[in-house]
Structure 1
Amino acid sequence: MTATLYNFNYGAVTPLAAYLMATVGAALGLRCTTRSLRRPHHRARWLALGSVSFGCGIWAMHFIAMVGFGVEGAAIRYDRDQTLLSLVVVIVCVAAGMFLVGYRGRSPVTLVSAGIITGNGVVTMHGLGMNAIKVDGSLHYDGSVVIFSFVFTIVIATAALWAAVSLHTLWSSITASLIMGVAVTGMHYIGMTALTIRLTGRTTIDEATSNLGFLMVMLAGPLLVLLIATTIIMFDPDMLIGDEDPDRELPAPRGSGTAHPVR
């Protein structure tokens, strides 16, 4: 029996919260990349913080959105190890992409390569997160929607990496982050339209409620990381004095051509 699926069990709360997490993660990643270009002697540290922040934002977006996911007549459970593995995968792949553009610059070859790596990480995270679902039934996917979401994700990832090394003012980063949040969250819900579930049994409502508690525990760590990263960036000297000094230039990563003035 094909089950009826719900993605908005809590109305607009979960998509808006998921969008907020994606936007915050993108904003932190962009600001950390700007710091890494301005401070080449600390570049690796800032890129690492940006990668973890962006990766946690994407992961938190996915699983906050999954709080609103439900299957009529079936309880949803999650495999803890696969859920945690999905977090590790997305952070590692985002880091690979950000370090690549952070050190090699924004040439088309570098951006596309980094975008493919990062996009693959996001798609793999989504796949692992969905595979972690344990339900009394089987999961099936529409191949055409999966391919579309895969290509869409690579485009998003490439655009995000371009923005990370190209947009250096506070307001341009905020604007890019708001747009990126829409794109990343939209990618998740597009991907969810590919899913159908065929049930083999039914479970009780009491079993289903355990899903929310598990996701809240899993989300606590990444949300704490985002809070710490926000605090670090907010109290960074560059943030306190502003980014508007036109005489300060960002050292260009190798392969990017020229230095980027901060405006």
Structure 2
Amino acid sequence: MIDHFALGWVTPVLSFLLSCAGCAVGLTCTARARVARGSASTGWLALGAISIGGTGIWVMHFVAMLGFHVRGAETRFDVGLTIASGVLAIAVVGLGLFIVRAAGVGPFALLAGGIVTGLGISAMHYLGMRAVHVGVEITYAPATVVLSVAVGVVAATAGLWLSARVHNIAAGAGAAIIMGIAVSGMHYTGMSAMQAEVVRGAVATPDVGVSVGALLGPLIIGVTLSTILLLLVVGLAPSAAEMEAQEKFKGWQGRQDELQRERVSARRSPLR
């Protein structure tokens, strides 16, 4: 009765590519956050959370949901809950990134951040599913739900570890693919827990929410504009390597200035 690939392989492939792209941009931001200081570091972490949580996770979830269909039923989305699930994804990813930055990349920090972020991502997934109305009752297999949460925690922990370790383009590309696989795996594991029993004549047209077509236009515009802005910020800003080189130069320049002041002071001081 439930078809997760109503549009064929378009939705899983597109959602996976979007997840990889969002995670790649997010990892670029977190690499800059490790080099930057103060408010600049916080700003880069926030952009990383928006990219990973927004595009890498939530947009992936929504695009994959476009292939969800219950035969004989119309799919509609609750706009408020759909937006709330996106905000939740960004918030929990940001919380995990800030936990790792504050506590370091030790086992305890990774475990704490992974659990918080993984549970939050799982909550985002099921909140997003709660926003879907198909006119029939949807139930979930408890064991598969638990498995999907476990996958979410593992994926989040791996993502946080990668966000603190990636230093070059090659590593970043590999990490983005790994994170894309993990996010997609969590999504489809959670989706496989869904059960819907449709009795002939028992399907009702949902009277809440909007159709996929009505939501798709604003979503595409919003995602496109936010992605362009993120790419502009990341593309125009110095890379992590350039920022690190600038910091080293500032440190060297500061030491040279200090030596110069000492020389001037020595010349001015009396010889006896």
TM-score between both structures, scaled by the size of structure 1:
0.85
Structure 2 counterparts to residues 63-212 of structure 1, below 5 A: 63-199=62-198, 201-202=202-203, 210-212=211-213
Query: How far apart in 1 are the matches of 2:6 and 2:248?
Result: 49
Rate the CA distance shift 1:80–1:99 in 2: closer, same or farther, 3 A: same
- The alignment covers a number of residue pairs equal to 242
- Give 1:221 deviation, angstroms: 2.0
Query: How far apart in 1 are the matches of 2:92 and 2:244?
Result: 32
Structure 2 counterparts to residues 219-230 of structure 1, below 5 A: 219-230=220-231
Greater relative contact order (CA < 8 Å, ≥ 6 in sequence): 1
Query: What stretches of structure 2 of length at least 5 have no aligned partner?
Result: 250-272
Q: Residue in 1 aligned with 2:216?
A: 215
- Give 1:219 deviation, angstroms: 4.6
Percent identity, aligned pairs only, is 36
Q: Residue in 2 aligned with 1:37?
A: 34
Q: Residue in 2 aligned with 1:6?
A: 3
Query: How far apart in 2 are the matches of 1:99 and 1:223?
Result: 27
Match of 1:237, SS state, is coil
Match of 2:105, SS state, is coil
Query: How far apart in 2 are the matches of 1:223 and 1:20?
Result: 14
Q: Residue in 2 aligned with 1:253?
A: none
Amino acid at match of 2:41: R
Q: RMSD between aligned alpha carbons?
A: 2.5
Query: How far apart in 2 are the matches of 1:102 and 1:27?
Result: 19
Instruction: Deviation per CA, 1:14-73: give whole Å up to 9, x if none.
Output: 111100111111112211111011112311000011001111121000000011111100
- Give 1:203 deviation, angstroms: 5.8
Amino acid at match of 1:14: T
Rate the CA distance shift 1:65–1:176 in 2: closer, same or farther, 3 A: same
* 1:73–1:203 Cα contact (<8 Å) kept: no
* 2:86–2:124 Cα contact (<8 Å) kept: yes
* 1:9–1:69 Cα contact (<8 Å) kept: yes
Instruction: Deviation per CA, 1:58-115: give whole Å up to 9, x if none.
Output: 1000000011111100001111111111011111111100111123210111111111
Query: How far apart in 1 are the matches of 2:146 and 2:220?
Result: 28
User: Which protein is bigger by CA-based radius of gyration?
Assistant: 2
* 2:136–2:204 Cα contact (<8 Å) kept: no
Higher mean Cα deviation, 130-139 or 154-163? 130-139
Query: What stretches of structure 1 of length at least 5 have no aligned partner?
Result: 250-263
Amino acid at match of 2:140: Y
Rate the CA distance shift 1:120–1:219 in 2: closer, same or farther, 3 A: farther
Q: Residue in 2 aligned with 1:252?
A: none
Query: How far apart in 2 are the matches of 1:14 and 1:223?
Result: 17
Higher mean Cα deviation, 179-188 or 210-219? 210-219
